[in-house]
Amino acid sequence: MTASTNDFVIKFANVNGSGSASANELFAKAILRMGVPVSPRNIFPSNIQGLPTWYEVRVSAAGHLGRRGGVDLMVAMNPQTFEADVREIEAGGYLFFDSTKPLPPGVRSDIEVIGMPLTMLCVKHYDDPRQRQLLKNVLYLGGLSMLLGIEADVVETLLSEQYKGKPQLAQPNIDAFRLGRAWAKDNLKHPLKFAVVRADNVGDRIFIDGNSAAGLGCVYGGATVCAWYPITPSTSVAEAFEKYCHKFRVDADGKRKFAIVQAEDEIASIGMVVGAGWNGARAFTATSGPGVSLMTEFLGLAYFAEIPATIVNVQRGGPSTGMPTRTQQADVLSCAWASHGDTQHVLLFPEDPHESFGFAADALDLADKLQTPVFLMLDLDIGMNQRLCKPFQWDAERTHQRGKVLDAEALESGVPFGRYRDVDGDGIAYRTYPGTHPVRGAYFTRGTTKDADARYSERGPDYLENVHRLKRKFETAKSLVPQPIIERAHRPTSIGVLYFGSTSPSMHEAAQRLAAEGLALDLMRIRAYPFPDSVRDFVLAHEQVFLVEQNRDAQLRTLLIHAFDLDPARVTAVLHYDGTPITARFIAGAIRDRLAAVRQEVAA
Amino acid sequence: MTYIAKPKLHHPSLTRNRVGFTRRDYEGKISTLCAGCGHDSISAAIVQACWELDIEPHRVAKLSGIGCSSKTPDYFLGQSHGFNTVHGRMPSVLTGAYLANRDLLYLGVSGDGDSASIGIGQFVHAMRRGVDMTYIVENNGVYGLTKGQFSATADQGSKSKKGVENTDSPVDLVSLALQLGASFVARSFSGDKAQLVPLIKAAMKHRGAAFIDVISPCVAFNNHGGSTKSYDYVREHNDAVNRLDIIEGRAAIEVVQPDDGVIDVEQHDGSVIRLRKLEADYDPRDRLEAMNFIAHHAAKGEVVTGLLFVDADARDFHAHLKTAPTPLNQLDTAALCPGAAALEKVNAGLR
């Protein structure tokens, strides 16, 4: 392990509920304020108090925001996981521990050990047991700031901001920080091989989690009804929506321009969204995989009855508790084809909080324009971790696009109305909101059994006309969804890589790494389903195509091959699904190995 | 089978109500239910109630789940938007619709399979929240469209058409609604239009969750001896606690003495529900007494009908949520979007 400035990984191993989260977050933010990019990740259990939890911070002057893998400095505060945590440290790295108790014998000799008697210092300086526990976190923050060269002023400013208006809390925290820093200065060898040095690599970027960004996007996108049911890791979407609504949508007289319902389950959540959408309000729900499973019957109805609905799905590991606090992209198929009958749904794949914001607003527009459910597919990695990203943008001229709706004036003027007539040839019919006109525009909404004028019909030709129009509508969607983004290699190459969502930062880093090794890759980031034809063109234009996903079954690959009737041999899956975010090391390794194998096959 | 529209011939002598509509304007398609089905009487009662209340048909949104009863919204109020949703899930869709536009009247029609079995959770929570709606369960104790299985409201010991005895305890939706906080709870019988029409009118006037359980015999599968949901059984065991009239706010309300067997309940819009007591001691303003009374009479095999409970001062879900008076579906970008400048401030706070 060689010395490095502004480029290392530090991991905090804590006990859930010990108050470490805010100190750790402050640590990450302090480095950002010094102009150095960081990407932190929470690795947490399904638990409120007592179980192990980790906070991993990657410091990267180059701006790599994906998980790197490996740990250079372990802050081992949890006796339960101590041994495993120590094993994770890269050779030549550091172990930082509470030296109030002696180190267990036999700790690795290839790492450097730094002891700071945190508990003893707390017992000495504080009487209140809770204070002892909370300020212990701030003490190690002080110690680490000294060891790594983090500026004291920056941390103290952040502490003051955090306890703004609560001076009785701010001062003890600042004092504890100074105490830790002074102790480290007097007693520990510093600086370490890894140091933070002020730089200017952050720019105007913002630091926020994707769930909060999506919640804010729903406010900007004009959602007025939010019905949801608590489920990790999506709960903070609804909570953020509520927070921003209280900030932006309450009249002077206290009246609210929004309605949020914590429903009895996910079935009721989507039912309310469908009811609100049918009645002309923009509505969304936030959920995760199991919630989508419960919603599927309604999703089929919404597809066939053509009702706008936005579903924020923050993906996670599968059923039960435990893995659900880990990340995956494993709901691609269950969302794309959710429900009974011939159904297909629109999916959007944001890469970070910036796009989570924008795509949330776009999803509400798309749902109205296409009169259909639209999924915003986050995952735990971007949903629940703060991520450095471009600032949110909103065009001041932008208005909400409500799609094809006939109002009272249009109906009064005698515009002919048939709810499911394809007047414009794009598969999208005109709709009316209930209560619009006394004698025109009313219709009866049901699933499949109807003719183009929404009259009850069990006739085969009427059914066919309808489902074929729905297929045309899905074709139309291709041009309305966010288009894929291509990044060409610096020289022509026959190798292309497709990827989507939270894989983005690791993918970029892997491509850089492989480019440095002489391997040129064209990249295409898929941002939505249905796939625009440019995705097929990209696949056909490359001899060797990789598709990087964070699930076991190459779900997006299945969709892709199905969408364009591609030869499955054309697309090689690179799959990562152990619940941790995918790394550049993994992607680069997988692509390198696969290409080497191909070369061997060719040579043989 | 597609659909049959009723001929739109208006006899000139058909009486028009205050908003210019005849009864025919409140009708829908021709029913496809069995001849003699109680549900068709309920549809007719809804038509009558809306006509008498001078409701503009397009100001009603009618929603249902799945089942025989849930087919009926196609058979009344043809000028209203209707929504045949998912089995047992009408309450959530209605709740969402109601959140989107607080200015319409919401009529939910469901059945005992729809509301007491698959959808009991949604029934429960819609009542708890005080969604402003009229929720009618057309209760026949049996699954009709799937040909005669017991539903959860079938009485213990009652017999199916094939002679099988039901051993499960029944769900009494009226008692459940009372316990859950519904602010208007009634029971009626599809064969008693004189009782049912005023009840529907009162429910539609009520602000908050109004629930009417209407015993509606299934002539095909549950109208035999041994059934407790047959025409004969309900007629014999019907114990009506009151009769009511709806007196619109615009009419002069004659003063009545409190002790002459009449209770006046003033509604939020100024109209008055005038209850003529048939059961001397029954006061439908007392929730606990209502629950007690119903339980005692049920134990004797009697079907208590009438307006069983009303709280005219109830607040609805929008009041709880403090929603703006303008319907949410009418708010435009300017009203909803904080704008680019506000976003710059948000950005600044995230650095």
Half-sphere exposure of B314 (CA within 13 A, CB side): 29
Q: How far apart are CA A565 and CA A559, in angstroms?
A: 10
- For residues A495 and A434, state if they share a domain: no
Would residue B177 count as lying in a domain? Answer: yes
Contacts of A205 (CB under 8 A, 6+ apart): A37, A388, A389, A390, A391, B351
CA-based nearest residue in chain B for residue A247: B338
Q: According to the model, what pLDDT value does residue B102 have?
A: 98
pLDDT of B253 over the 60 cut: no
**CATH code of the domain in which B288 resides:** 3.40.50.970
Mean pLDDT, chain A, integer: 95
Mean pLDDT, to the nearest integer, of B123-150? 95
Tell me if B156 sits within 8 A of B166, measured CB to CB.
Answer: yes
- At residue B279, what is the residue type? E
For B195-238, write each residue's pLDDT tens digit.
999 999 999 999 999 999 999 999 999 999 999 999 999 999 99
- For residues A216 and A190, state if they share a domain: no
Q: According to the model, what pLDDT value does residue A99 have?
A: 96
Query: Which two tokens mark A404?
Result: 């094809």
Query: Which two tokens mark A506?
Result: 């690791």
Partner-chain residue, chosen from A222, A244, A456, that has the shortest CB–CB distance to B2: A456
Of B86, B110, B170, the C-alpha closest to A296 is: B86
- For residues A308 and A385, state if they share a domain: yes
Bond into A530 cis (ω within 30): yes
For B138-182, write each residue's pLDDT tens digit.
999 999 889 889 999 999 999 999 999 999 999 999 999 999 999
Would residue A400 count as lying in a domain? Answer: no
Q: Could you list the residue range(s) of the whole structural domain that residue A464 is in?
A: 408-480
Q: Nearest CA of chain A to the CA of B202: how many Å?
A: 22
pLDDT of A49 over the 90 cut: no
Cα–Cα distances (Å) from A535 to A128, A485, B176, B345, in that order, read 61, 10, 55, 37
Would residue A203 count as lying in a domain? Answer: no
Q: Which of A195, A220, A243 is the last residue of a domain?
A: A195
pLDDT of B251 over the 80 cut: no
Mean pLDDT, to the nearest integer, of A524-547? 98
pLDDT of A111 over the 80 cut: yes
- For residues A216 and A189, state if they share a domain: no
pLDDT of A45 over the 90 cut: no
Q: Nearest CA of chain A to the CA of B209: how many Å?
A: 16
Q: Could you list the residue range(s) of the whole structural domain that residue B206 is in?
A: 23-330
B324 and chain A: CB distance < 8 Å anywhere?
Answer: yes
B22 and chain A: CB distance < 8 Å anywhere?
Answer: no
Q: What is the DSSP string of A56-94?
A: EEEEETT---SB--SEEEEEE--GGGHHHHHHHEEEEEE
What band does B7 get if pLDDT is binned at 50, 70 and 90? low
What band does A557 get if pLDDT is binned at 50, 70 and 90? very high
- At residue A405, what is the residue type? V
- For residues A237 and A374, state if they share a domain: yes
Q: Cα B260 vs. chain centroid, distance in angstroms?
A: 30
Would residue A202 count as lying in a domain? Answer: no
Q: According to the model, what pLDDT value does residue A489 have?
A: 97
Partner-chain residue, chosen from A396, A437, A445, that has the shortest CB–CB distance to B339: A396
Tell me which DSSP letter residue A532 carries.
P
pLDDT of A325 over the 90 cut: no
Q: Which of A174, A195, A216 is the last residue of a domain?
A: A195
Which residues 233-252 of chain B have a CB within 8 Å of chain A? none
Other beta carbons within 10 angstroms of residue B181's beta carbon come to 16
Q: Which of A480, A502, A529 is the last residue of a domain?
A: A480
Q: According to the model, what pLDDT value does residue A133 have?
A: 87
- Count of domains forming chain B: 1
Do B329 and A281 count as a contact with CB atoms less than 8 A apart? yes
Q: According to the model, what pLDDT value does residue B256 have?
A: 59
**CATH code of the domain in which A567 resides:** 3.40.50.920
Half-sphere exposure of B341 (CA within 13 A, CB side): 0
CB < 8 Å to B85, chain A:
271, 274, 301
Tell me if A469 sits within 8 A of A302, measured CB to CB.
Answer: no
Do B96 and A283 count as a contact with CB atoms less than 8 A apart? yes
Q: According to the model, what pLDDT value does residue B24 have?
A: 94
Other beta carbons within 10 angstroms of residue A121's beta carbon come to 23
CA-based nearest residue in chain A for residue B121: A264
CA-based nearest residue in chain B for residue A298: B86
Q: Mutation test of the interface with chain B: which of A161, A279, A299, A362, choosing the one with the most B Cβ atoms within 10 A?
A: A279
Tell me which DSSP letter residue A452 carries.
T
Mean pLDDT, to the nearest integer, of A459-483? 97
Do A433 and B329 count as a contact with CB atoms less than 8 A apart? yes
- For residues A240 and A353, state if they share a domain: yes
Q: How far apart are CA A529 and CA A462, in angstroms?
A: 27
pLDDT of A320 over the 90 cut: no
Q: According to the model, what pLDDT value does residue A322 have?
A: 65
CB < 8 Å to A248, chain B:
338, 342
Would residue B267 count as lying in a domain? Answer: yes
B30 and chain A: CB distance < 8 Å anywhere?
Answer: no
Tell me if B303 sits within 8 A of B187, measured CB to CB.
Answer: yes
CA-based nearest residue in chain A for residue B79: A442
Query: Which two tokens mark B200?
Result: 């529907």
B207 and chain A: CB distance < 8 Å anywhere?
Answer: no
Do B336 and A433 count as a contact with CB atoms less than 8 A apart? no
Would residue B88 count as lying in a domain? Answer: yes
B198 and chain A: CB distance < 8 Å anywhere?
Answer: no
- For residues A494 and A476, state if they share a domain: no
Mean pLDDT, to the nearest integer, of A14-39? 94
What band does B1 get if pLDDT is binned at 50, 70 and 90? very low
- For residues A212 and A185, state if they share a domain: no
For B24-80, write each residue's pLDDT tens digit.
999 999 999 999 999 999 999 999 999 999 999 999 999 999 999 999 999 999 999
Would residue B134 count as lying in a domain? Answer: yes
More confident residue, B22 or B264: B22
Q: According to the model, what pLDDT value does residue B94 have?
A: 98
Q: According to the model, what pLDDT value does residue A383 have?
A: 97
- At residue B289, what is the residue type? E
What band does B262 get if pLDDT is binned at 50, 70 and 90? confident
CB < 8 Å to A270, chain B:
92
For A181-214, write each residue's pLDDT tens digit.
999 999 999 889 999 999 999 999 999 999 999 9
For A219-272, write each residue's pLDDT tens digit.
999 999 999 999 999 999 999 999 999 999 999 999 999 999 999 999 999 999
- Count of domains forming chain A: 4
Would residue A505 count as lying in a domain? Answer: yes
Mean pLDDT, to the nearest integer, of A320-330? 81
- For residues A288 and A361, state if they share a domain: yes
Do A224 and B331 count as a contact with CB atoms less than 8 A apart? yes
Would residue A201 count as lying in a domain? Answer: no
pLDDT of A561 over the 80 cut: yes
Do B100 and A399 count as a contact with CB atoms less than 8 A apart? no
Tell me which DSSP letter residue A325 carries.
G
Do B84 and A227 count as a contact with CB atoms less than 8 A apart? no
β-bridge partners, A583: A67
Which residues 83-142 of chain B have a CB within 8 Å of chain A? 83-86, 89, 91-101, 103-104, 121-122, 124-125, 129
Cα–Cα distances (Å) from B55 to A16, A434, B76, in that order, read 59, 15, 13
CB < 8 Å to A456, chain B:
2-3, 29, 74
Mean pLDDT, to the nearest integer, of B260-289? 86
Query: Which two tokens mark A560?
Result: 């892709």
**CATH code of the domain in which A175 resides:** 3.40.920.10
- For residues A474 and A498, state if they share a domain: no
Q: According to the model, what pLDDT value does residue A51 have?
A: 87
Tell me which DSSP letter residue A434 carries.
T
Would residue A447 count as lying in a domain? Answer: yes
Partner-chain residue, chosen from B74, B92, B331, that has the shortest CB–CB distance to A275: B92
- For residues A140 and A215, state if they share a domain: no
Would residue A395 count as lying in a domain? Answer: no
Do B84 and A445 count as a contact with CB atoms less than 8 A apart? yes
CA-based nearest residue in chain A for residue B346: A392
A vs B, Cβ pairs < 8 A, gives 237
Q: How far apart are CA A485 and CA A483, in angstroms?
A: 7
Would residue A133 count as lying in a domain? Answer: yes
Q: How far apart are CA A43 and CA A53, in angstroms?
A: 6
CB < 8 Å to B327, chain A:
281
For A575-595, write each residue's pLDDT tens digit.
999 999 999 999 999 999 999
- For residues A58 and A88, state if they share a domain: yes
Cα dihedral A153→A159→A165→A167 (10° resolution): -80
Contacts of B19 (CB under 8 A, 6+ apart): B54, B55, B56
Would residue B335 count as lying in a domain? Answer: no
Would residue B174 count as lying in a domain? Answer: yes
Partner-chain residue, chosen from B58, B78, B92, that has the shortest CB–CB distance to A268: B92
